[in-house]
Every structure is written in C-alpha cells, then in structure tokens.
Amino acid sequence: MQIKGNISLKEFNTFGIEVSAKYFASFRSERMLQELLSQRLLSIYTPLILGGGSNILFTKDVDTIVMKNEIEGIELISQDEDYFYVKAGAGVNWHSFVMYCLDHNYAGVENLALIPGNVGATPMQNIGAYGVEIKEVFHSLEAMHIKDKALVVMSNKDCSFGYRESIFKHKYKNQFVITSVTYKLKKEVEFNISYGSVAKELEMMGVKELSIRSVAQAVINIRSSKLPNPKIIGNAGSFFKNPEISLAQYEELKIKFPSIVGYTTEKDNVKIAAGWLIEQCGWKGFREGDVGCHEKQALVLVNFAKATGAGIYNLSERIIESVFQQFQIRLEREVNIY
C-alpha cells in the first residue's frame, strides 16, 4: 500500500475541479483499510474518505490524507419469502449495482437508475429520485471506526435517515468508513411510477406491460434528457435540496405564484421543487465565465471548463439569496462543500 503526496483530485470529483491532496491512498478491502488507518499519518490527520466524488465541491486544496474507497463485489447473502438480501462493496458504482439488480430481477432500486456515485454514499446521503429513497430498500451496512479500527454493523434504524440526511452527516461525521451495504430487495414488484414524468415517459416508450427494466429505462431516458453528463460538463447532479414548507406558507405562495410546483409530504408539509424556484429567479441557463446553471435543469450547477470550486460556491450563494428574496424560502445545498 502506497501513500502518495501532492496528488491532483481533478479526475476524482465529477465537478472536475483542479485541487490537490496533501496525501492520497486507495484501499480495496477491509484489511487494506485497517492497514491504512494504522499508518502514522493517520494519528496526525483526519482522513477525507472519497467514493465516486459525485457529491462534493472542492473549494480549496485538501490539507490532509484523501482515502479513496475502491472495495468492490456484489453477492446475494440470503433470501426469505419476500426479499433478496444483496450485499455490495462500498466502492461499487451505484448505476452498475442497479443494472446488476435488473439482471437478477431484484426489485426496488429501478427508480434510482443513473444516479452518479458509489454504493458507499447511498446511505450517507439517503439518495432518492422519482418517489423512492434508499431508506426504503436499505437493510444494513458495515463500517469501520477510523480511530479504533473496529468493524461495526448498523441497521436502518441506526442510520437515522432523513431527507438526504443520515447519522453520518451529523453525529458520526468523519468517524466511520462505510465498507459495504446490504439492500433488502423485493421478490414481488411494486411499481412506483406516479412521481414526475415517469408514467408519461413509459407511455412514450410504448410500454404495454410494466417491468423493473422498463421503469429503469424510463428513468434513464428522463435523467439523460435533463442532466448533463459529468464526463462532458462538470457537475454533481442536483446541487440543492427540495425545500419543505408549511401548508399555510404554500397556500400563500400559490395565490401569488399559481404555477408553483409542490408535493405534499407525510408530515402534511409541502416539498417545493427547488429547480422551479431557481428558474423563476432567472438562473436557468446562466453562465459567467466557466461557472453556470444548466440550460435544461436549473437545479444543476456546472463547470464548463476551468471553473474553481470557489466560483461555483459563490454562484450557489447568489442563487440562495435571490430565491429567499423572492419566495422567503432558504435553499439548502445537497452537495457537500470542502
């Protein structure tokens, strides 16, 4: 195992931001991770764990050791009458995992196709799309404590999932390295096509009989039509969370802005489409130098070529302020800022 110094992180973040790490190492197993955590440097520096780099914005060089999680492997570990329990290494590409599930007829993650990033980030962010969140298919995870190097198992309840939230973003921040995730995937399919434009896309595809593969393909088509490929234009997907407001506030806004887009939540609040708010403030398609807001989806901030992380962050600040001025709603970033 080799720890390298002064390594560029441009190829390790989907924004394509050119920053460097003071130290850099990768690991492909729990044993390698334990050995890495035992190095003298780890008694000096708190590591930054990096997966697919699809949910982070670097605004400066990383003055610590970056540890890239490359633990692979997917296996069916058990099953019961209703579920398949499928374990995946934290370094497995998420979309590849979804495709694996489709190939084996494991249902539950088809709505989450084409989300960038790796398996290890899915419980950290409680990723979600088109009416489905990871907490609905999550069974457990294994994680190694950075300080004592002990491997622990955490259940769904242990993770304290919320909207794009988990215990790893708060109480356990920078304390654990997720090494694997086990998902509880359905044997009997329950299709979820009511959210967004999934049903419309299926109709356009000419689908007569639903399948998890057709639903996944509909989601892939929608995402591909609206979201830029990070290999072509640097981005991290949705930059902001959809804000949640009270029903009373929503009704007031509805009078002033009849076309406002909102969805009722389990708590009888209303989740507002952040992309709609940003678009109403005139940011969709905005470009200033190499920093911009995507022309097809206002929720996506982009690096057209050589933008800095600070430049993208400053644009996000301007967007947050303009949305608040117009709607009295304070947007929160979904992307992690370093």
Catalytic residues: 164, 238, 334
148 contacts 175 by C-beta, under 8 angstroms: no
Query: In whole angstroms, what is the distance from residue 121 CA to residue 12 CA?
Result: 14
Query: In whole angstroms, what is the distance from residue 199 CA to residue 221 CA?
Result: 12
Instruction: Round to the nearest angstrom and report the end-to-end CA distance of the chain.
Output: 26
Distance from CA of residue 240 to its chain's centroid? 11
Element (H, E) at 316: helix 309-327
Distance from CA of residue 226 to its chain's centroid? 17
39 contacts 64 by C-beta, under 8 angstroms: no
Count each helix (H run) and each strand (E run) in the chain, helices first. Answer: 8, 20
Sign of CA dihedral 97, 103, 109, 110: positive
